Structure 1
């Protein structure tokens, strides 16, 4: 996979490499690294910091949701290897299915363990040491250990390869222990390459806090937190976009326009920001501006069905039935089954009848 032209979104703090250096390297190779996920995100990087912020069930649901959107999912090490900042530790040829078959790990748990770098390799081909680890993890799971407890513990141990020589045990809590000559001891140590600067960790905390307030419907509070975040990092288009959404939901539309524009100045290719700005200015009676913004969103993302539908409706309301028909037909190429599709079909039928009556008259 090439990096150029791709947008990488991060979910959770990255602990294995300084984020600012990662962002710089992604930009150097022609891509973009952003916090959070938007329509144009091609790859989602799951940071290990997510393990301290979310439950196993929440993480699993997020992984399934992003995979369902046909985005490529990457671990921290997977991103480093893609960028050429790290290399695989051992040449091997074991497939994912081979490790699953030989270890009896459930496929879903194997995927999550790989995604959070519990193996030497984050994807095929896996090594023989990965097979040994998979068998050890299967034993831990059978004893009642959760996959997230395994991940957190192995990353405290130092080099993951060293675990292949240890006897690992689960004692009924969230910790994994190694049996040594002196008895059982917890896997201790610092996170691998824990180089994040305090201000970067603070940013991750602020962004997560803002997202939580937004999800809870506390839009004024979320907007205030995003504002504090943007005072530290003035370059984050996603944070500006999210703040605009919160301001709009809180009824502060003038401020929302300002932050949508801010997001677009930071990232002119942000299709969702063009779409949301179009919706906001359209409700305020600025039809021509809304048309321009929707057209821009569609130019950036030709399969943006919501933008296509809204442009069709805008043209219909403005009296340009030919354009409305054209965009409704395009919408039906993208969506044939939803209630919106039924509305588009009725719109095309209405315009056809209207044009036919004018021809007959």
Structure 2
């Protein structure tokens, strides 16, 4: 079974609401999720993170996305529109670093948050000019996140190439106009207000409530997210988790079914549905849903182990041994792997004793 392209969104987009972004990804045969799922191969970092988190927290989010393709917001817009970079972009990352004196980490983070004309290599010559300005600001004590915030209060990054930028005593970034210093301000680039932005704000509030273990409050907020955007499978999935944590299993089940009806490849939702079915004694359905999760993601070790355990409890020792063997192909070193090996040994012992 081939699953669809899965794109993860970390932080809301400033350029368009999630609903429109999801439609753009769907037009390319994929699905857009808030955050990162097992199937996520491309992760988009929305510029709203600059307003919610400091540099260290954003860097932690980026580090957690290692091993996947990372896109800035502008790069995502190019990706869904299939727009090729401008011909003038011909400089390598190494050339920009060598010509500007900007540190590699700052270049990468500012690129990821659209601090340059280009979103990634190859860069344009004007990006070297911006990189030199940014290197000077960082040498003066600014961090890359403060620079990115100021850039997007000003407008497109390229509009800064002809301006002299300075770090003020209050740590704000200013543009020099003759003898005067003026703080970069104005509307956020491509800002958007309306139902989409409201759904993004509600989702952030729901995540905060869930993190604080206010599961009933979070479930209510996720329900409002779904009212604002009925196609948000992540809101349905998260709501199900909160409902289950509140002891409302039947409603949790309904929310999970809604998640997979929106996104049939939502492997974590199938896995959680299997858990609910097994807890309720509905073994056949639990087996079916674990099978669906594994068909979507054959490397989903947790689903493989749970299916082996389910078959063992159901008395099908041969099937349990087969799934434990499969689990050991995916994980041969953990405590779960040792349990799987013991399970296989037990089944073989039973078989030998039976002659």
- Regarding TM over 0.5, the answer is yes
Please tell me whether the aligned partners of residues 196 and 229 of structure 2 are also in contact (alpha carbons under 8 angstroms).
no
Give SS of 2:166's match: strand
Please tell me whether the aligned partners of residues 77 and 86 of structure 1 are also in contact (alpha carbons under 8 angstroms).
no
Instruction: Write the distance in 2 (CA, Å) between the matches of 1:253 and 1:21.
Output: 32
Is 1:296–2:295 an aligned residue pair?
no
Instruction: Write the distance in 2 (CA, Å) between the matches of 1:265 and 1:135.
Output: 50
Deviation at 1:113, TM superposition (A): 0.7
Residues 54-93 of structure 1 mapped to structure 2, 5 A cutoff: 54-67=53-66, 70-84=67-81, 88-89=85-86, 91-93=88-90
Residues 107-122 of structure 1 mapped to structure 2, 5 A cutoff: 107-122=104-119
Query: Paired residue for 2:218, among 215, 219, 222?
Result: 222
Residues 1:48 and 1:173: Cα distance change in structure 2 (over 3 Å): farther
| Runs (5+) with no aligned partner, structure 1 | none
Is 1:329–2:322 an aligned residue pair?
no
Deviations 1:81-130 (A, max 9, x none): 11236553552221122223333333222221111000111111011111
Please tell me whether the aligned partners of residues 17 and 197 of structure 2 are also in contact (alpha carbons under 8 angstroms).
no
Is 1:347–2:346 an aligned residue pair?
no
Instruction: Write the distance in 2 (CA, Å) between the matches of 1:85 and 1:349.
Output: 53
Deviations 1:222-252 (A, max 9, x none): 1111111112211111110000011111211
Deviation at 1:34, TM superposition (A): 2.8
Instruction: Write the distance in 2 (CA, Å) between the matches of 1:180 and 1:247.
Output: 56
Deviation at 1:300, TM superposition (A): 0.7
Query: Paired residue for 1:96, among 93, 96, 118?
Result: 93
Of residues 329-338 and 347-356 in structure 1, the stretch that sits farther from structure 2 once superposed is 347-356
Report the RMSD for the aligned CA atoms in angstroms. Answer: 1.7
Total equivalences in the alignment? 353
Please tell me whether the aligned partners of residues 154 and 184 of structure 2 are also in contact (alpha carbons under 8 angstroms).
yes
With the length of structure 2 as denominator, give the TM-score of the two structures.
Answer: 0.94
| Runs (5+) with no aligned partner, structure 2 | none
Is 1:315–2:311 an aligned residue pair?
yes
Q: Could you tell me which residue of structure 2 aligns to residue 245 of structure 1? A: 241
Please tell me whether the aligned partners of residues 156 and 188 of structure 1 are also in contact (alpha carbons under 8 angstroms).
yes
Deviation at 1:18, TM superposition (A): 4.5
Instruction: Write the distance in 2 (CA, Å) between the matches of 1:87 and 1:162.
Output: 21
Instruction: Write the distance in 2 (CA, Å) between the matches of 1:134 and 1:279.
Output: 51
Instruction: Write the distance in 2 (CA, Å) between the matches of 1:324 and 1:228.
Output: 42
Q: Could you tell me which residue of structure 1 aligns to residue 130 of structure 2? A: 133
Please tell me whether the aligned partners of residues 145 and 172 of structure 1 are also in contact (alpha carbons under 8 angstroms).
no
Residues 1:256 and 1:307: Cα distance change in structure 2 (over 3 Å): same
With the length of structure 1 as denominator, give the TM-score of the two structures.
Answer: 0.93
Instruction: Write the distance in 2 (CA, Å) between the matches of 1:247 and 1:353.
Output: 42
Residues 150-299 of structure 1 mapped to structure 2, 5 A cutoff: 150-194=147-191, 196-299=192-295
Residues 1:193 and 1:87: Cα distance change in structure 2 (over 3 Å): farther
Instruction: Write the distance in 2 (CA, Å) between the matches of 1:291 and 1:203.
Output: 35
Instruction: Write the distance in 1 (CA, Å) between the matches of 2:37 and 2:170.
Output: 36
Residues 1:21 and 1:248: Cα distance change in structure 2 (over 3 Å): closer
Deviation at 1:135, TM superposition (A): 1.7
